[in-house]
Structure 1
Amino acid sequence: MHEGELELTTATAARLIAQRFPELAGLPLQRVPTTGTVNTIVRIGDALVARFPLVGETEEALATESAAMSELADVCPVASPRPFGTSPATPEYPSAWSVQTWVPGDTAAHDDHMSSTALAGDITELISSLRSVDVRGRVFDGRGRGGILSDHDDWVSLCIERSGHLLDAARVRRLRDALRTIGADEPAVMSHRDLTPFNLLVSDDRLVGVLDGGGFGPADRSLDLVAAWHLFDAPRRRIIRDGLGSRDVEWRRGAAWALQQAMGLIWYYQNSNPAMSALGRSTMRRLLDADELSSLG
């Protein structure tokens, strides 16, 4: 999926885990198929999972990620992984890597829960819980989504250009132009920052887990609203909007972040990760067909 990805066999993973965490040596290992784009995932026994970065990471970055994961797990209304430990890079695997607790559940799917009132309620509770955490004077760190929408103009323009064979690029451009300048009218709140279906675990159409909490931190309060566009039809989106009390500005900025994320998935992962690309196309269809945005595009 990415240039220069690090390769990892199960045998190598077993050696690395045994060397760094001798108490885990001998536990059964299972490589976990995933649509994720950042790590190779190896389950360790029943309770733990190792995450090996695909393109390399530092110990310092993983320490920051672990602190954010712990903070999220403390306030999340459902289970979320907690850090177990990290390992420095070695000649055999030239990246730091981590072990965390395993959270059971099935990954949510963009086309399976669109009319689920119960899941929409769970997502509302999740976002509300995360927003209630004190930012403690922290501000957006400037990485990725969650700051100024127009900072992503060049990337979104490239994505629209590269995706013209997969959707109506002119319609996307008109909607993006209408959304990109909507300014934030409220201070940042604590945000998961990547509430895609692949980071949400469900069972019987209820939310049971939230993954990838390493980015938990202050961001635009509208950012986590991307979950509404990735997962739900209009009536269920309305449940989330009403439950959070989102005004027009906040709701439209959430749509803008969803557009930015979706357009980055469509062309980039078209061949290497079709499930990610399909999510992007599904989200864009919801955005382009949404009555609440029709006057903008």
Structure 2
Amino acid sequence: MLGRDDTTARASDPVTAPREAPHIDAALVRRLVASQFPHWADLPVRPVAVDGWDNRTFHLGDEMTVRLPSAEGYVPQVEKEQRWLPLLAPRLPLAVPTPLAQGSPGEGYPFPWSVRRWIDGETAAAERIGDPVRFATDLAGLLTALHRTEPAGGPLAGAHSAFRGAALATYDAETRQAVELLGDRIPTDTVREIWATALESTWTGPPVWFHGDVAWGNLLVRAGRLVAVIDFGCCGMGDPACDLAVAWTLLAGASRTAFRAALDVDDATWARGRGWVLWKALITLDNPDPVRAAEARHALDAVLTEYAESTRA
């Protein structure tokens, strides 16, 4: 939720990635493509400019990408996206990845992998968004359409979604431990209050489709406009509150207000969305990667500020 790599598995997570893939590079991708899809063997292979954590992605020519799970824990994402993206795509107002083929283990690589159509665009860093309010309402429209898509037997939230869409209480112990460890580096009483508020409710409606990782790195813009959402590896059926995290990690002020108004969610769902951001920020504040740690601090500050404003209203 804080970026392209937000589903990083750690020893304390309910889901882990116990077996890593061997070194993944363009040479491996060329061998896999040549052996399994020889009609694409002459196409050039090169890494994408901005990669994720769960998968390594490479351009295959100018119109396709190859996507390989980086560890065993992410393998279920391959089949899930292959099965469900064709169902979701025609029901959504923005572009999503189109699966073209699924590869098998080979050439020393132990997992299935996929080929999909390339979507042109840049990741939605704040400085690339032309009109933040329009961006927010377009994103709300996409999520509304997704949350209203017929279930069609989609997968219920669980380990395959890193428990996105499941009860927020899944991460209660980890959150409380993080609060204790951070101590006076955070406003402990306020953080505990926000977390307790988030846990007061659970999703009582039928399970609905959720994306599970709505973050700037999974949203694409062209000429400042939102054009696509990618990386449905954490998608599933459950509580859509996890998809609201972007309201604190990317949006702010008028754009956050417009996002909430367009989604038309109740206070309890909004509080759970805030809780998802709080959990992730707290467990990432001490990340050794300074970029991730800074993103976590930004998200935590956004949660604290917005919560204070909501309690004064």
Normalised by the length of structure 1, the TM-score is 0.86
- CA separation of 1:106/1:252 partners in 2, compared to 1, >3 Å: closer, same or farther? same
1:220 corresponds in structure 2 to: 239
Cα contact 1:159–1:264 (8 A) shared by 2:
yes
154-163 or 181-190, larger mean C-alpha shift:
154-163
1:101 to 100, 117, 136: 117
Cα contact 2:212–2:243 (8 A) shared by 1:
yes
User: Aligned letter for 1:12?
Assistant: L
SS in 1 for 2:100: strand
Q: Deviations over 1:139-186 (max 9, x none)?
A: 733231111111211222344456569755554333223322323243
User: Aligned letter for 1:74?
Assistant: P
1:154 corresponds in structure 2 to: 173
- CA separation of 1:58/1:91 partners in 2, compared to 1, >3 Å: closer, same or farther? farther
SS in 2 for 1:104: coil
- Give the gaps of 5 or more residues in structure 1: none
Aligned length: 293
SS in 2 for 1:281: helix
1:240 to 233, 241, 259: 259
Alignment of 1:143-292 (within 5 A): 143=159, 144-161=163-180, 167-168=186-187, 171-268=190-287, 270-271=288-289, 274-291=290-307
C-alpha distance in 1, partners of 2:273/2:256? 11
238-247 or 1-10, larger mean C-alpha shift:
1-10
47-56 or 284-293, larger mean C-alpha shift:
284-293
1:89 to 92, 105, 108: 105
- CA separation of 1:293/1:140 partners in 2, compared to 1, >3 Å: closer, same or farther? farther
1:23 to 36, 39, 45: 39
SS in 2 for 1:214: coil
Alignment of 1:118-137 (within 5 A): 118-136=134-152
1:9 to 8, 20, 25: 25
1:32 to 48, 52, 63: 48
Provide the aligned C-alpha RMSD in A.
Answer: 2.8
Cα contact 1:201–1:209 (8 A) shared by 2:
yes
C-alpha distance in 1, partners of 2:138/2:264? 15
User: Aligned letter for 1:104?
Assistant: D
Q: Deviations over 1:44-82 (max 9, x none)?
A: 011110111111368765222211222232222111111
C-alpha distance in 1, partners of 2:111/2:270? 39
Q: CA deviation at 1:27?
A: 0.7
C-alpha distance in 1, partners of 2:153/2:97? 25
SS in 1 for 2:143: helix
Normalised by the length of structure 2, the TM-score is 0.82
Q: CA deviation at 1:209?
A: 1.1
Cα contact 1:68–1:215 (8 A) shared by 2:
no
- CA separation of 1:19/1:166 partners in 2, compared to 1, >3 Å: closer, same or farther? farther
- Give the gaps of 5 or more residues in structure 2: 1-7, 10-17
Q: Deviations over 1:215-243 (max 9, x none)?
A: 33312132211122221113211111111
1:66 corresponds in structure 2 to: 82
